[in-house]
Each structure stands twice: as C-alpha cells, then as structure tokens.
Amino acid sequence: MTDLTFIDFCAGIGAGRLALENLWLTCLGFSEIDKKAEWTYRILHDSNEENLGDLTKIDPKKLPDFNLLIAGFPCQTFSVIGQRKWMDDKRGNIIFHLIDIMKQKDIKYFLLENVKGLVNHDNGKSLKTIMKSLDEAGYYVKWQVLNSVHYGVPQMRERIYFVGFRKDLLPKDFDFVFPNSQKQTTKVEDFLIDTNELTFGEKQQTYQTFIKYLGNKYNKDKHSIDALLSNEHLVLDTRQSDIRLYHNKVPTLRLGRHGILYVRDNKFRKLSGYESILLQWFPKKLAIKAKEKIPDIHLLRQAGNAMTVTTIQAVAEEMLKSIKSIS
C-alpha cells in the first residue's frame, strides 16, 4: 500500500491512471479536452470526478495537493507522422504548462510519455529544451525509449518516458534505473478475439480495397491470397504502400490507424477498437464495457492515442522502489 496521490493530465482514456492504481496510488482528478475520450475514460474507470479540462487554463493554486504528476502530453508536434513543428504549435507548449503546475504545486515526482520522434526532433534541440526546463524547475530527470513489446503486450510501440524526482529529496549519489526488458510471453491470438462481424457491405468494401492494395506496384505478384490465409493469426499492416507482415505481434497502434488486418479461421479480419484496447493492456472486463457503449471507430482512435498500461506500470514500479529507498 502507498499513500501517494496523483493527478492524471492529458489523460486520454486513462491508461496511466490504471497503471498507477494497480500499484495502489490514489487518483485525485484528471484533465482531458477530448470529450469522446472523456466519455470512454468515465466508462473504463467508473469515474464521476470533475474533469479539470484544458490544463493550459488550470489555476494550479486551485488544485488539491498531490505527490505525482502523470501525463502523456500531446505527441502530434513531435511525431514522425505529424508535421514535426515545435514552438509554432501550441500543443508543443503543453509541457511548459505541466512544468508550471509542477513548480506551483511543488510536486515531488512525475512520469511523462511521448513519441519516440521527440528524441531527434529538430536535431535533438526540442529534447534538450525540455530537459533543461525540467532541470531548472528543480528536478532530477532521466529519460529512455522503451518498447511495449518488451513489457507484456504483443505490440511494437516505442515511446520515450521521462521520470522526475525533486532534487531536494535525493541523496547525491541517486541514480534512477529504468526497468529491464522482458521476454515476450504473451500470444497475439489472446488479443485478437473480437466476435463482432463487419456487415456484408463493410466486409466487401474492406476485401476489395485489400485486393486493390495487393495489386499496386509495390505488392504486385509478391503475395497470394491463399498463402496469406494459410497463416493463422498473421497480422498485415496496410498503412504503407508495401504490405508489412507480422507474426505474434502487431505494429504500433496509432491515432486514426485503420489499416491493420489479421487472419483468423482462414479469413481476413480488421483489427477492432475492442482488440486495440486489449493491446494496450486494459483488462478484458473493462474493454468489454467500452465495446458495449463506445463506437468502434472511436475506440480505435483512442487506443492509438493511449499509453500502454504495462509499460507505465513497470516504470512506476521502479519509481516506487526509488521513492522507498530515499524515504
């Protein structure tokens, strides 16, 4: 048990919250501007708390006292699939609003997540700016890129994670160590389990689009339908011009990504929102609740924008070990 409290900023559907609550931390509130994501968040977490809303408009003085700040701050500014802007995009400034909250509330610890693209954005200048700002705010900070496939889910999802500890709490020789990678023990077939079928029209459209895709100049004569269908649980990524094939794992779930197919029972199926939520390691009982109330297209988008529960939990466990050692 722990008496640590946290507020869930840029909450999305609350993967960070779930990870921290699994470790017995107490959530005191959340902040999310996407109303559809908020709806899913409330369903998944049975939450009736007030949404703190746009964190750029929050008065930190009005927030309750809390120990740890967690945020998957907006990634579109840094992502390789975005326009990779920096100061010209207000979403890229969210980090500085978070730092202001940290300073005004004298937060002891933080855990932040963003896309891997932040590492090399603007030749590394963006990352250096963030690290410098956090250091000047009074925090020991360490970052590392981790892949969700090494932390209990069959999803290749590389993200950068930042952990921070207020410097005045630390001994001089303090050094945070990120969790070790784990051998993949999960099987993708345990996640690709949706029983919902597409309507006849949707199925026909999906199939015809896929056939056309296989015939483009990048894929023509490289793959046969029979050969693909002979591989049970083969995952096919059609996002790029050339088809990408995966065994026992799926490519990174992304906001708005609908190009993932897989083979089951000698048929092609589309990855569903329900399956995507499972691939971010939300428990099946919660994913079913979401599936029953949230349109599939929204779940696909929200899962693509979410953090992976197991990875956040692994990092937070190491943070708790460090906190215990310095207490």
Identity of the residue numbered 119: V
Identity of the residue numbered 258: H
Closest-CA residue to 189 (of 247, 244, 259): 247
| Active site (annotated) includes residue 27 | no
Identity of the residue numbered 4: L
Distance CA 66, CA 58 (A): 15
Phi, psi of 144 (to 5 degrees): -160, 145
Helix axes 15-22 and 309-326, enclosed angle (nearest 10): 50
**31 is written with which tokens?**
């902040």
Phi, psi of 99 (to 5 degrees): -65, -40
Closest-CA residue to 216 (of 238, 245, 189, 183): 238
Closest-CA residue to 21 (of 45, 41, 57): 45
Phi, psi of 181 (to 5 degrees): -65, 150
Phi, psi of 38 (to 5 degrees): -60, -40
Rg (Cα) of the chain, in Å, rounded?
21
Host H or E run for residue 29: strand 26-30
Catalytic residue among 13, 20, 75, 130: 75
CB atoms within 10 A of CB 35: 8
Q: ∠ at Cα 173 (172, 179), nearest 5°?
A: 130
**299 is written with which tokens?**
């779940």
Helix axes 296-304 and 35-45, enclosed angle (nearest 10): 90
Give the active site residues: 75
